[in-house]
Chains A and B, each alone.
Chain A
């Protein structure tokens, strides 16, 4: 009887704190296991080219307008798919006391890493967040999201946002509501999707397309299939020295940075 009690308590603990399960399993082995997606899309960000504010702003604007991401009046309710953070925040394991001036406190473009072994998907209690087999994109099935926010707590990159209120009135007020892309409802979690709706039509992600229009933005973002050795991203990764965000956690980010 006592044994059963302990077992139930342990199972209960696992349910209440799914993060514990993630931490327990976030080792190199599970990273390799996540590699199972037959294809994996990925992105290479050129940090220096993205120091230019116009480049970063163009990405965010293109993405947020395309995907009905509202500009929430209250910063505590901010919703973002692609944004900037300081070098020290983005690469806490790279920054040190003598970080070069050119990187110190500089803004770095960040977005969801479409991790190989995503923490967010592991903690999702309904299976709403999952890693897709066909292209390795970490998707949210909005019809299944119940808004528990475990994924927000689990994602070590802060890539997810929560809808504290119905975003549509804000979009309508901003005048940016797009009728051909769904908005979200109160209680849903959202993040970058690598523009699946565009990839389906053979187009590039909105942010990648947008930077090309900005002077000096050419090559700031490169997108492609990591599983194809001849793709632009694979070539860049072979030729340049790149870094990733917090690889020691073992989630296997698929957004790479040319320092």
Chain B
């Protein structure tokens, strides 16, 4: 009987824990579905170039990995840069209207701009 009680209690505690852990996630999903405010509005790139160095979907998810791999090639291997952060600036001219839009939503403060000039 004592054993039975214990495992019941364990089960309840686990469910409660799972619910508590999922609250922030659920809150995020509900609130972002409820309003469009958190959807970043990205500035349209300049007309000068007709496309980005990679397709939009790739850039949206992996731009940081691309930048890091270019960094490794340039700094560690001494190769020429395929693209530099300052080239991104050619189209996406404002950090506030481009980079920060998404970074703010996901609450990220990348430290690129401490060194790299991006107004």
Interface residues of A, Cβ cutoff 8 Å to B: 130, 132-135, 137, 139, 141-143, 166, 168, 177-180, 182-185, 188, 196, 200
Task: Kindly report which residue of chain B lies nearest to residue A187, judged by CB atoms.
Answer: B114
Q: In the complex the two chains form, is A139's CB within 8 Å of B86's CB?
A: no
Instruction: State whether the Cβ of B59 lies closer than 8 Å to any Cβ in chain A.
Output: no
Task: Kindly report which residue of chain A lies nearest to residue B71, judged by CB atoms.
Answer: A143
Task: Kindly report which residue of chain B lies nearest to residue A180, judged by CB atoms.
Answer: B86
Q: In the complex the two chains form, is A139's CB within 8 Å of B115's CB?
A: no
* Residue with the greatest number of chain B CB neighbours at <10 A, chosen from A133, A179, A184: A179
Task: Kindly report which residue of chain A lies nearest to residue B68, judged by CB atoms.
Answer: A143
Known: A141-B76, A182-B116, A182-B117. 15 other contacts (CB 8 A): A130-B76, A133-B77, A137-B78, A141-B75, A143-B71, A168-B114, A177-B117, A179-B86, A180-B86, A182-B115, A185-B115, A196-B78, A200-B74, A200-B78, A200-B80
- Nearest CB of chain A from residue B96's CB, rounded to whole Å: 16
Q: In the complex the two chains form, is B76's CB within 8 Å of A132's CB?
A: yes
| 25 A/B residue pairs, CB under 8 Å, sorted by A | A132-B77, A132-B78, A133-B77, A133-B78, A134-B78, A137-B78, A139-B75, A141-B75, A142-B115, A143-B68, A143-B71, A166-B114, A179-B86, A179-B117, A180-B86, A182-B115, A182-B116, A182-B117, A185-B111, A185-B115, A188-B115, A196-B78, A200-B74, A200-B78, A200-B80
* Residue with the greatest number of chain B CB neighbours at <10 A, chosen from A139, A143, A200: A143
Give 6 closest A-B pairs by Cβ, nearest first.
Answer: A134-B78, A185-B114, A182-B115, A179-B117, A182-B116, A141-B75
* Binary A-proximity of B64-80 (CB < 8 A = 1, otherwise 0): 00001001001111101
Q: How far is the CA of A196 from the CA of B78 in the complex (A)?
A: 8
Q: How many A-B residue pairs have CB under 8 A?
A: 40
Chain A residues in 8 Å Cβ range of B74: 200
Task: Kindly report which residue of chain B lies nearest to residue A196, judged by CB atoms.
Answer: B78
Q: How far is the CA of A142 from the CA of B114 in the complex (A)?
A: 11
* Binary A-proximity of B82-111 (CB < 8 A = 1, otherwise 0): 000010000000000000000000000001
Interface residues of B, Cβ cutoff 8 Å to A: 68, 71, 74-78, 80, 86, 111, 114-117
Chain A residues in 8 Å Cβ range of B76: 130, 132, 139, 141
- Nearest CB of chain B from residue A137's CB, rounded to whole Å: 8
Chain A residues in 8 Å Cβ range of B77: 132-134
Chain B residues in 8 Å Cβ range of A196: 78
Q: How far is the CA of A184 from the CA of B86 in the complex (A)?
A: 16
Task: Kindly report which residue of chain B lies nearest to residue A183, judged by CB atoms.
Answer: B115
Partner of B78, one of A135, A183, A188: A135
Chain A residues in 8 Å Cβ range of B111: 185
Chain A residues in 8 Å Cβ range of B114: 166, 168, 185
Answer whether A184 and B115 are a contact pair too, CB < 8 Å, given A139-B75, A143-B71: yes
- Nearest CB of chain A from residue B105's CB, rounded to whole Å: 24
- Nearest CB of chain A from residue B64's CB, rounded to whole Å: 11
